[in-house]
């Protein structure tokens, strides 16, 4: 297997998409909070950040526990 094929195989899997989604939720939690919940000063933004971190951690677990990738 070529080096770049291994790199592409590593990036083209569901775990990578989950990591990107979780990172976007953490980074854009203010925007997501304004979009979904109009009240300001609520603890909803922290909940969105925690959800993003959990989603990103689940993606990392999927990537590092996949036995098919060498």
- The better pLDDT of the pair 19, 6 is held by 19
Question: For 52, phi and psi rounded to 5 degrees?
Answer: -65, -40
Q: What pLDDT sits at residue 49?
A: 92
DSSP 21-64: HHHHHHHTHHHHHHHH---SS-THHHHHHHHHHHHHHHHHHHHH
pLDDT band, residue 56 (cuts 50/70/90):
very high
Residue boundaries of the structural domains of the chain: 13-64
Cβ neighbours for 65, distance < 8 A, ≥ 6 positions apart: none
pLDDT one-digit tens code per residue, 20-41: 999 999 999 888 888 887 776 6
pTM of the entire predicted model: 0.74
Q: What pLDDT sits at residue 52?
A: 94
């Amino acid at each position: 297997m070529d080096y770049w094929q291994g790199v592409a195989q590593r990036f083209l899997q569901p775990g990578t998409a989950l990591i990107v989604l979780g990172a976007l939720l953490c980074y854009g939690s203010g925007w997501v909070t304004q979009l979904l919940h109009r009240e300001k000063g609520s603890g909803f933004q922290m909940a969105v950040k925690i959800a993003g971190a959990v989603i990103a951690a689940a993606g990392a677990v999927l990537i590092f526990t996949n036995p098919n990738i060498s």
